[in-house]
Amino acid sequence: MNGVHDMGGMHGMGAVLPERDEPVFHHRWEGRVFALVRAMGAFGRWNIDASRHQRELIAAADQLRMSYYEKWLAGLTELLLRHSFISAEELASGRATPAPAKQSPALPAQKVPGLVTRGSPASRSASSPPRFRRGQRVRARNLNPTGHTRLPRYARGKIGAIDRVHGVFVFPDTNAHFRGEHPQHLYSVRFEARELWGDGAGPDDAVYIDLWEDYLDPA
């Protein structure tokens, strides 16, 4: 979907200033939010793409004022409400009601190291050969879906070249809305900076974007 969350390449947002020796978490509560998101995702009631899309639905004004992990918490809260893990009354009071009975943990402490090490792989077996080859010129399709997508606005309609064929992976646009995994080939596409942003961009600069097959047409 188009929204303020997709601000790559936009003017007026200020410079990106990397923080030297940045810690993994700036505050203890951020680590707790990260753990909560992983633990609740283990129940299988939603997937990573649905979780990302929920954060995209945060109102624009809130998107701009919230920190990274505040958005994670807001998205998780909405998913917990929607799937009846918590009630609006519990959220308002900050206290769990005695009934109904709570579900057993899907991610007990002893399983955490394995999950962190293994992750949740989205790779799948190939059922067909890739449509594009390394070095081939492609054009990112000019799509404006109302749901989740991983095709950034600044690349739509632009021409690039296939740099790498990653293999087959779950398609986030359908997976986020529980319409099936629809696995397909994923490519790293190299776009010249001037193709994306015009002659004012650096002549030697380029951006590499991982794009699924449904996002691309031959150029």
- Block mean pLDDT (10 aa), the chain, length 219: 88 86 96 94 93 97 96 97 92 85 79 84 92 98 96 97 98 97 98 96 96 98
State the pLDDT at residue 212: 98
Does residue 12 lie in a domain region? Answer: no
> What dihedral angle (degrees, nearest 10) is formed by the CA atoms of 24, 27, 30, 32?
110
State the pLDDT at residue 102: 67
The CATH number given to whatever domain includes residue 32 is: 1.10.472
Does residue 181 lie in a domain region? Answer: yes
Prediction pTM value = 0.90
Residue 212: give the domain boundaries: 123-218
State the pLDDT at residue 100: 65
202 and 161 assigned to the same domain: yes
Does residue 6 lie in a domain region? Answer: no
State the pLDDT at residue 123: 96
136 within 8 A of 218, measured Cβ to Cβ: yes
Q: Select from 70, 86, 118 the last residue of a domain.
A: 118
Please list the residues that pair with 206 across neighbouring strands: 192
Among residues 164, 178, 174, which one has the least CA distance to residue 211?
Answer: 164
87 and 170 assigned to the same domain: no
CA distance 53 to 6: 12
127 and 113 assigned to the same domain: no
Q: Select from 118, 148, 164 the last residue of a domain.
A: 118
- Count how many domains the chain has: 2
Does residue 21 lie in a domain region? Answer: no
CA distance 140 to 135: 15
149 and 79 assigned to the same domain: no
Does residue 157 lie in a domain region? Answer: yes
108 and 127 assigned to the same domain: no
State the pLDDT at residue 109: 87
CA distance 135 to 142: 21
State the pLDDT at residue 105: 79
Does residue 92 lie in a domain region? Answer: yes
36 and 55 assigned to the same domain: yes
Does residue 65 lie in a domain region? Answer: yes
170 and 109 assigned to the same domain: no
The CATH number given to whatever domain includes residue 201 is: 2.30.30.50
Q: Select from 83, 99, 118 the last residue of a domain.
A: 118
158 and 193 assigned to the same domain: yes
Q: What is the DSSP code string of 130-141?
A: -SS-TT-EEEE-
CA distance 199 to 12: 19
Does residue 184 lie in a domain region? Answer: yes
133 and 195 assigned to the same domain: yes
32 and 99 assigned to the same domain: yes
113 and 172 assigned to the same domain: no
